[in-house]
Structures are given as structure tokens and as C-alpha cells.
Amino acid sequence: MKNNTLTIIKKEFARFFGDKRMVFTTILMPGLMVYIMYTLMGNIMTNQFTSADNYVASGYVQNMPAELEPVLNELPVEWNDITSDEIDTIQTSLTEKEADLLVIFPENFVAELNSYDVSSGMAAPNVEIYHNSAKPESSDVNVMLTALLESYEASLSNRFDINAGQNDYDTASDQDMTGQLFAMLLPMLLMTFLFSSCISVAPESIAGEKERGTIATLLVTPMKRSSLALGKIISLSCIAMLSGLSSFIGTMLSLPSLMGSTSGLDTSYYTMKDYLLLLGVILSTVLVLVSLISIISAFAKSIKEASSTCSPLTILTIVVSLVPMMGGDMLKNLGMFFLPILNSVLCMNSIFSFQMEVTQVIVTIGMNLVYAGAMTFGLTRIFNSEKAMFSK
């Protein structure tokens, strides 16, 4: 009977991979959905906040100073001079997104500027710029015009500059930027995907067998309950890994669209060692999650009951995944790597941010295996409990 664990694993695989619909919904669909969703979100955000390159905005200006005319004409705006009577009409056009910009200079703007004394305490000449922030083109030209006028104002009384040279004043390397971004995003996404994957397979396999009455058929065979528990957990972990991997690949492929082309993300900074350690952490995390959900499922009377009981755990996992974002120096406290789920999140964070220490990874994987082992033993006991297995 030594190979009964293997027999159970083979049966679980045959059950899962023999059902094309299940393979599609559990493995292919998550990755595909994540890719489509994130790519779509990225494109929508890009389109929402940027205007077309060749767009010429329609701007209306009152009292345009001759000194500023050449500069303003460099903007991608077709300027139309207006009088005071037309201001209300243009404002309505702005609201209705028909016009893009309305600029009102005081009469004799340049003369007022030249005669203005800061120490007089009087209000400075005021330029009014009306735009519509709900229209990307209007927002864009507003930003450009404001920057231009601020630059013009600075040139009138320039005392000192900040970072006026051509140097790269931010000393963070592209690797640091990639690490910071990945460390912030990926542990949470990975944990969410892994938990979703586990919850999509474990309740069906354990609570589902109880609900369908097929678990009793297994329990009257001479197979050891530990073989059943181990076989279930190993096979479910493999399936959940594939599902999690699918979501992960979908995320990685859609990240450039989601983050925008200027983010400078480059996964080539991560070495094979980083990937292997990450794989070890992910594998041991899946074992913990599958064991945990299996125990809950073994107590549940139906798939529905198991899934709803696991729901608070989903929220808990997401909250724990956010912990590294809240600051503090948890990565330096080795004790944190003894706590299940949090240790995986911290470990992923340290790998992605290039701060990983091998001890942390070893403690995390070791502790996860201990927790998974303890829960497998617990599952064995539950399979032996007639109250848990046969209660109506």
C-alpha cells in the first residue's frame, strides 16, 4: 500500500486534466483574464490621461501681450482673440468640451508687470486660465501653458535655479526602480492569485467528495488516511501552482501596458538564483494554503460551505500582503519569517527588492513545510473522524 499516495495523486490529476472545462476555467482562464483585464486597464488609463500627438487645441485669449505671442504660438494651440462679451460663451464651450483653453490677460499686462513692486503689498497682475480637466487635451495644454508662464515669471526675477543642469539628479538606478515597483506590487498580486487558485481546487476535491458521497468509498479501502491526505494535498498543490503560474504569467505580460511604457521595468535584473528561491517560496506557500483550505473543506458539508468559510481568509491574505507597504523594517526581523503567510509575503518582497538574505528564505520555506506537514497530519486525523466525515 506504499504507493497509495501516488495512486491518489494520479486519480486527482486524471479527474482534473480529464475535464477540459475545468482545465480551461482553472488554469487557462485566470492568466488570460488577468492579461486581458490589466492590458485593457493600462490602455484605458493611457488613453484617459494623454492626448493624441497631432492634436491642435482650440484656445481663446483676451488681451494677448505682443511680447508673449511668439512663445504662446509654440504651443499646439490655435489661438483666437476674443473680447469680454464672448467670455461667457467660451466658458460654456469649455464645459461642453468644444473649446480647450480660455486665457484672460489683464489689459497692459507687460506694463503692469514692469511697474509691479512686490513690497507694495498690492495684488500682482493675475492671468486667468480656464480649462476642462475632464478633457485630456484641455488638461495637457493647460499644464503646458502654466509651465510656460511660470517659467516666464521666474525669468523676470531669477535669483537661483534648482537642478538646472543636464545631470541625472536622481541617483536611483533602473534596477532599484524595478525592485521598488515589483516589491510593492507583486507579493500582493502573487499571494492573491495563489490563494484564489487554491480555493478554486481544494474545496471541490475534498468537500466535493464528501458532498457526492465518494469519500466514504475511499475510506473503506485499506489505504492509510495519511496517504489520502498527502495524495490530496500534493496533487491539489500542483494544480494550484499551475493556476497561480498562469495568473502570474498573465500579470507579467500585461505589466508594461499597465505601468506605461516609461516605467523602465526590466526583469533581467533578477538572476536565476532569485527565480529559484522565489519558486521555492511559492511552492511552500501553496502547500500551506492548500493544507489550510483542505482542513476547512474537510469540516465543511458542501463545496459552498467550504468556499464561504474560506472567504475571510482571502481578505486576511490580501491584508497581510499589504503589510510590507505600511513601512517599518520587518525584513530585518527574522522572527517575522516564522509567521505563516506573512513570511511568504516578506520573502517575496525581499527577493523582488534585491534585499534577500538566504537565511530568510530558508526559514520561510522550512517553516512553511513544517506548517504544511502539521496540517497534513491534522487532515489525516479529520479523515479518521466519523463526526467530520459523516455528519449530516
Binding site for other proteins (CB under 8 A): 1, 3-4, 7, 11, 14-15, 18-19, 212-214, 216-224, 386, 390
- Give dist(CA 254, CA 320) in Å, integer: 24
Residue 337: Cβ within 10 Å count? 25
* Identity of the residue, 159 or 387, whose beta carbon is nearer to other proteins in the bound complex: 387
Pick between residue 46 and residue 221 the one whose CB is nearest to other proteins: 221
> Least distance in Å: CB of 311 to other proteins?
25
Q: Which C-beta is closer to other proteins: that of 1 or that of 143?
A: 1
CB of 218 to other proteins, least distance (A): 8
Task: Compare residues 49 and 390 and give the one whose CB is closer to other proteins.
Answer: 390
Q: Based on CB atoms, which residue is closest to other proteins, 110 or 219?
A: 219
Nearer residue to other proteins within complex by CB, 236 or 292: 236
Least Cβ distance, residue 293 to other proteins (angstroms): 20
189-206 burial, b if ≥16 CB within 10 A, otherwise e? bbbbbbbbbbbbbbbbbb
Which secondary structure element, helix H or strand E, spans residue 96, and what is its range? none
Q: What is the DSSP string of 96-142?
A: TTS--EEEEPPTTHHHHHHH--GGG-PPPP--EEEE-TTSHHHHHHH
CB distance 232 to 205 below 8 Å: yes
C-alpha separations of 66 from 62, 69, 111 in Å: 12, 5, 12
What is the residue type of 331? Answer: L
Cβ atoms of 75 and 148 within 8 Å: the answer is yes
Backbone angles phi, psi at 57, to 5 degrees: -75, 155
Compute the distance between CA of residue 171 and CA of residue 255 in angstroms, rounded to an integer: 24
Provide the minimum distance between the beta carbon of 375 and other proteins in the complex, in angstroms, as a whole number: 22
Q: How far is the CB of 215 from other proteins (least distance, A)?
A: 9
Q: Are 88 and 130 in contact (CB under 8 A)?
A: no
Q: Which of 97, 75, 94, 79 is nearest to 143 (CA)?
A: 75
Measured from the CB atom, the residue of 19 and 174 that comes closer to other proteins is 19
Does residue 134 sit in helix, strand or coil? coil
**Minimal distance, residue 226 CB to other proteins, in Å:** 11
Q: Which is nearer to other proteins, 70 or 222 (CB)?
A: 222
The residue (of 6 and 185) whose beta carbon lies closer to other proteins is: 6
SS3 32: helix
User: Cβ of residue 9: shortest distance to other proteins, in angstroms?
Assistant: 12
As measured in angstroms, the least distance from the Cβ of 294 to other proteins is: 18
Minimal distance in Å, beta carbon 21 to other proteins? Answer: 11
Question: What single DSSP character describes residue 63?
Answer: S
Helix (H) or strand (E) holding 132: none
Minimum CB distance to other proteins smaller for 194 or for 239: 239
Which CB, 214 or 271, lies closer to other proteins? 214
Least CB distance to other proteins at residue 3 (A)? 7
**Angle, alpha carbons 73-77-83 (nearest 5°):** 85
Which distant-in-sequence residues (6+ apart) come within 8 Å of 337 by Cβ? 343, 346, 347, 360, 363, 364, 367
Q: List Cβ neighbours of 164 (8 Å cut-off, separation of 6 or more).
A: none
Side chain identity at residue 217, one-letter code: T
- 93, 99 contact by CB (below 8 A): yes
The nearest distance, CB 298 to other proteins, in angstroms, is 16
Q: Which residues contact 189 (CB under 8 A, 6 or more apart)?
A: 247, 248, 251
